[in-house]
């Protein structure tokens, strides 16, 4: 029997990523990375992860949070993006609801988070170094007016499983199952700085998108980190009637920083895994059999954060929260 189980082990597909759902933790105008301490921040965010999230959080978040909305219960990191709004013909706005990835159970809203080793299918041979406590980074910029980053994309969802057919800007036609916003973060670190003034220069982006192996890290940023990616599913179906769309035929969705093209798409990451949990996962050659602790969907959904910025974000709004500032 021994040879049989060995043979089975050899043909078992190798999994080189951890993929998990995180329910919505909070939707409010806070941004501890780009605008630390500022109450409120310029535009609205949807945030998932640990409940240590606040405007001025610092230090070892893995030791400060007491619950997380993520399926892996040792992950107290925070992950956030801007929020999608529908802009009606009369100029009012309504928030687009989020829905969870089909593969990950009935979490409330939120996003899917990935940490890859080499690429989607292969662990590779390179050592993948975990982020350190206090580490933070962003990808993309709300002021960007053109595409070109292979890691920042949209997919027009025909159904919940549609993948591929990525675009740099918002889909131009109604998407039956909504719009997926995709954010791949850079994977090369300078080995020294937990952050940098623009929250990007301590990282170097060699990401090719679509969960391919990121290109080799340059000498300036030699340390290969996990490739982090987010997928956020926006349920646009209540807005898909084209008679509600602008009369000139343009698409009606805007990011919460008032971007109707979509090129300003960006994501924020604040590391907060407990202890060496992420490093242990990245060191295991089959991430299927990693030793990470999990929690139930009900437990993840239960973790919540009090909203400290009290302003309307739902219903028909005359203007975007904070008037869509950048």
Ligand X SMILES: *[C@@H]1O[C@H](CO)[C@@H](O)[C@H](O)[C@H]1NC(C)=O
Task: Choose the binding region for ligand X from 23-31, 195-203, 207-215, 231-239 (rule: CB under 6 A).
Answer: 231-239
Least Cβ distance, residue 10 to ligand X (angstroms): 38
Q: Which of 141, 200, 206, 235 binds ligand X (CB under 6 A)?
A: 235
Site for ligand X in 111-150 (CB under 6 A): none
Least Cβ distance, residue 62 to ligand X (angstroms): 11
**Cα distances (Å, whole numbers) of residue 174 to 83, 90, 166:** 18, 19, 15
If binding is defined by CB under 6 A, does position 57 make contact with ligand X? yes
Q: Which of 33, 36, 64, 120 binds ligand X (CB under 6 A)?
A: 64
Least Cβ distance, residue 235 to ligand X (angstroms): 4
Please tell me the distance from the alpha carbon of residue 65 to that of residue 74, in angstroms, as a whole number: 10
Task: Tell the residue number behind the tokens 């209540």, with chain if given.
Answer: 238
Contact 31, 326 (CB under 8 A): no
Q: Give the closest residue to 266 by CA, choosing from 34, 58, 106.
A: 34
Task: Tell the residue number behind the tokens 């662990």, with chain if given.
Answer: 123
**Sequential DSSP letters for 199-258:** SSTTEE----STTPPPPPPPTTS-EE--EEEEEEEE--GGG--GGGS-TTS---EEETTT
Q: Which of 88, 176, 210, 304 binds ligand X (CB under 6 A)?
A: 88
Least Cβ distance, residue 54 to ligand X (angstroms): 4
If binding is defined by CB under 6 A, does position 284 make contact with ligand X? no
Q: Which of 58, 196, 212, 260 binds ligand X (CB under 6 A)?
A: 58
**H helices present in the chain, as ranges:** 2-11, 277-283, 297-302
If binding is defined by CB under 6 A, does position 37 make contact with ligand X? no
Please tell me the distance from the alpha carbon of residue 274 to that of residue 279, in angstroms, as a whole number: 10
Site for ligand X in 89-108 (CB under 6 A): 90, 92, 99
Q: Which of 176, 223, 244, 326 binds ligand X (CB under 6 A)?
A: 244
Binding site for ligand X (CB under 6 A): 52, 54, 56-59, 64, 88, 90, 92, 99, 235, 237-238, 244, 316
């Amino acid at each position: 029997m021994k040879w049989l189980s060995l043979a089975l082990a050899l043909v078992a597909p190798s999994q080189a990523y951890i993929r998990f759902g995180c329910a919505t933790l909070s939707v409010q105008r806070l941004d501890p990375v780009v605008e630390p301490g500022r109450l409120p921040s310029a535009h609205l965010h949807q945030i998932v992860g640990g409940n240590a999230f606040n405007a001025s959080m610092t230090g070892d978040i893995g030791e400060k949070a007491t619950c997380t909305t993520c399926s892996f219960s040792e992950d107290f990191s925070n992950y956030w993006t801007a929020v999608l709004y529908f802009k009606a013909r009369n100029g009012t706005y309504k928030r687009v609801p989020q829905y969870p990835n089909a593969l990950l159970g009935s979490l409330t809203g939120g996003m899917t988070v990935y940490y890859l080793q080499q690429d989607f299918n292969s662990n590779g041979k390179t050592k993948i170094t975990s982020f350190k406590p206090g580490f933070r980074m962003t990808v993309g910029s709300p002021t960007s007016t053109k595409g070109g980053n292979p890691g920042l994309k949209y997919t027009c969802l025909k159904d919940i499983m549609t993948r591929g057919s990525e675009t740099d800007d918002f889909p131009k036609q109604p998407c039956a199952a909504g719009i997926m916003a995709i954010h791949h973060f850079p994977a090369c670190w300078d080995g020294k700085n937990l952050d940098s003034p623009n929250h990007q220069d301590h990282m170097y982006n060699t990401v090719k998108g679509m969960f391919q192996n990121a290109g080799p890290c340059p000498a300036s940023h030699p340390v290969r980190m996990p490739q982090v990616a987010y997928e956020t599913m926006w349920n646009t179906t209540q807005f898909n009637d084209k008679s509600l769309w602008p009369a000139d035929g343009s698409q009606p969705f805007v990011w919460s920083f008032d971007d109707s093209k979509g090129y300003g798409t960006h994501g924020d990451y604040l590391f907060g895994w407990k202890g060496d949990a992420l490093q242990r996962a990245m060191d295991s050659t089959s991430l299927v059999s990693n030793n990470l602790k999990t929690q139930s969907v009900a437990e993840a959904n239960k973790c919540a954060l009090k909203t400290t910025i009290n302003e309307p974000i739902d219903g028909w709004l005359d203007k975007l929260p904070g008037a869509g500032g950048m």
